[in-house]
Structure 1
C-alpha cells in the first residue's frame, strides 16, 4: 500500500496505460529503420523534448514560489533569432556557424530570463505579472525580429537537433535528458536544492537565515529562460522555420500541468524533477493517444482536460479519503455497561 500512496504512482500508471493503448492502436509502436528508432514511442519521446525542457525550468521557478508565463514567448524569440541569422549565412550547413548562432539565441533567452528575475527579485513585482509582461510583449518582439514573416531555413546541422538520431535515440530527447541529469546533479548533489526549497517555503525566513534569496530567485528565472530558448531552437529546427505566432503557443500551461502532475507544490518549497519528467512525457503521450484512438479534433482539449483532472484528483489525499474512506470497515461500537 505504501507504493500506491507515492505521488508518482498514479502518473506512472496512467503513462504506462497510454503506452499500452498505443501498442494496440498504432501501426508501428517501435521499429528500427536504417539503424534508427522509429514509431509512436520514439515520436512521443522526440515530441516531449521541448515541453520537458520548459517544464524543467518551470519546476525550479515554482520551487521558489514563482511562476513563469513567458516561456512560450521566449521560445518564439529564440527560434526567430536563430532562423534569421542562419538564413543570412552564406553556407547554412556550416556546423561551427550554426552552433555559434544557437549560442547567441540561447544567450538572448538568458537575458530575457534575467529581465524576469530582476522584475521579480529586485523591483518586487509579483511573478505572474512580471512574466505576463514578457508573455505579451515577447510575441511582438519575435514578430519584429521576423518582420511578421515566417522565415524558412535549409540547414541540416540545425535540423539535426530536432530530427536527428544519436545511437538510434532522437537527439532532441537526449538534449532534454542531458538537461534533466545536469539539473538533478545540481539540485540533489549540492545544497542548491535545499536552498530552492527554503526560498520557496519561506522567503523571509531564508533571508534571515543568511540565504541570498534574491540571487537564487534571479538564477531560476535565468535558467528557465535558457531552457525555454533551447526548446524554441528544437521547435523551429523541427519545422525548419521561425513561426513567431505558433512557436510555444500555450506551452506554459502544459508545462505547469506537467509540474503539477509530477507532484511539485505550486505554493513552492517542494519539487520533483522525476515527477516533471513523467508529467511531460505523459502529456505528450496523451496528445498522441487522443489522435490514435480517433477522438474528434473538436473534443481533443476536453478529453485532455478530463484525464488531467482525474489524475490530479487521484493524487489528492483529501479526495481519496473522502471518496474511499467511507468504504473502509469501521470498528463496532460497544456500549459500556455501568458498574
Structure 2
C-alpha cells in the first residue's frame, strides 16, 4: 500500500491535480455554491462552467505549445498571432455589407485561420530551415505581430455587430459553451493523432535527440513545420474566441501574456522544457489550474493586479514538487520501503 502511494506521489500528474483540488476547495469554502451547475434555457451556467469557458483559449494554445516544447522548442508569438487572427476577422466583417451573414463570418474565420497557419509555417521555416533558435525565431513575430495587428486595425479597436461571430465566444452548442466544445475537440484530435499513431513518438524522438532521429530516418524538418503550424493555428482559433467574446478586435490587449499562461500550463502539467516526453493530460490539468487560480483571486477578493504573483507562487510550488531532486527522494524512499518489506517477509518465512 505504501509503495503504491509513493508511486502515485511520484506521478507527474499528482501534484498538479492536488493543486487543482486545493484551489477548488478554497473556492468551495469561500462560496459553498461554487460547484453548483444550473440549467437555464437549456444552457449550463455556474462557476465551473465559467472556468472551462474562460480557460478554453489557454488550453487550445497550450495543446499546440506542448507539441512545440516536446521538440525542444518554444513559441512566444502565439499571443501576437491571436491578436492578428482577431484583427483580420473583424476587419473583414466590418468591410462587408452584411456582417451578420453566416457566410461572411465563415469567410472571415477561414481567412484568419489561413493567415495564422502561414505565420506558423514562417516560424517553422526560421527554426528548421534557417536554423534560428526557437526563442529568437518566435520572438521576431512576437515583437512584430502586435504591430501587424495594429496596422490591420489602423490603431483602432474594431467593434463588430455580428451574432454568428459572437456565437464563437459566448454562444452555446447543445447547452455547452462553444469555446469549451472547440477546446475539447482540439484536445481530442491532438491526443488521437499523437497517441494513437506514431506521430507522438516521432515528435518525442526529435526532442530527445534531433541528430539521432535524423540518422534514423525521421524527417525532423517536416515535423518542426507541422508542430509550429499547428501551434499558430491553435493560437488563431483562440484569438477568434477571445475577439468574439469581446465582439471587438483590440490589437494591444487580445491574447496579451497568453503565451506565458500557455507555457505555465505546459510546465505545470509535467512536460519538460528540455524536450522529449510530454503529457497532454498534464497540459489540460495545468490549464485548469491557471484558470481556477485566476478565478480564486477574484473569488476571495484579492486585487487582480497581484494575480501574476500568485501564478508564480503556484508554478514554483508545483515545479519544486516535480523537480528531479524531489523525484529522486521519493525513489529512494520507495526503494527503502521495498527493501524493508522484503526483509520482513524473509523474517516471517524463516
Work out which of the residue numbers 7, 15, 34 in structure 1 matches 2:12.
7
Separation of aligned partners in 2, 1:181 and 1:292:
31
Separation of aligned partners in 2, 1:320 and 1:156:
51
Partner of 1:18: 23
Separation of aligned partners in 2, 1:303 and 1:184:
30
User: For each residue in 1:68-108, what CA deviation from the matched residue of structure 2 results, as whole angstroms up to 9, or x when unmatched?
Assistant: 00000000000000001011222222112201210110000
Shift of 1:136: 0.2
Separation of aligned partners in 2, 1:215 and 1:115:
13
Separation of aligned partners in 2, 1:214 and 1:86:
37
Separation of aligned partners in 2, 1:165 and 1:132:
36
Q: More displaced, 57-66 or 297-306?
A: 297-306
Matches within 5 A, 1:117-156: 117-156=124-163
Partner of 1:250: 257
- 1:137 aligned counterpart, secondary structure: helix
* Residue 83 in structure 1 maps to residue 123 in structure 2: no
Shift of 1:314: 1.5
User: For each residue in 1:130-149, what CA deviation from the matched residue of structure 2 results, as whole angstroms up to 9, or x when unmatched?
Assistant: 00000000000000000000
- 1:37 aligned counterpart, secondary structure: strand
Shift of 1:163: 0.6
Separation of aligned partners in 1, 2:21 and 2:300:
16
Separation of aligned partners in 2, 1:299 and 1:75:
24
Partner of 2:240: 233
Partner of 1:58: 65
Separation of aligned partners in 2, 1:221 and 1:298:
32
Separation of aligned partners in 2, 1:195 and 1:321:
28
* Contact 2:15–2:321, Cα closer than 8 Å, also in 1: yes
User: For each residue in 1:155-198, what CA deviation from the matched residue of structure 2 results, as whole angstroms up to 9, or x when unmatched?
Assistant: 11111111111222111011011001000111011110010001
Separation of aligned partners in 2, 1:279 and 1:132:
24
Shift of 1:20: 2.6
Shift of 1:321: 5.2
Separation of aligned partners in 2, 1:112 and 1:77:
10
* Contact 2:64–2:231, Cα closer than 8 Å, also in 1: yes
Separation of aligned partners in 1, 2:234 and 2:10:
32
- 1:69 aligned counterpart, secondary structure: coil
* Residue 166 in structure 1 maps to residue 173 in structure 2: yes
Partner of 1:112: 119
Work out which of the residue numbers 36, 41, 50 in structure 2 matches 1:43.
50
* Contact 2:10–2:330, Cα closer than 8 Å, also in 1: no
Shift of 1:122: 0.4
What's the TM-score, normalizing by structure 2?
A: 0.90
Matches within 5 A, 1:263-278: 263-278=270-285
Partner of 2:216: 209
Aligned-CA RMSD value: 1.9
Separation of aligned partners in 1, 2:279 and 2:47:
27
- 1:177 aligned counterpart, secondary structure: helix
What's the TM-score, normalizing by structure 1?
A: 0.93
Shift of 1:27: 7.5
Separation of aligned partners in 2, 1:21 and 1:131:
38
Partner of 1:336: none
Partner of 1:337: none
Partner of 2:344: none
Separation of aligned partners in 2, 1:209 and 1:93:
53
- Any unmatched runs of 5+ in structure 2? 341-350
Separation of aligned partners in 2, 1:17 and 1:235:
28
Partner of 1:220: 227
Work out which of the residue numbers 90, 95, 106 in structure 2 matches 1:99.
106
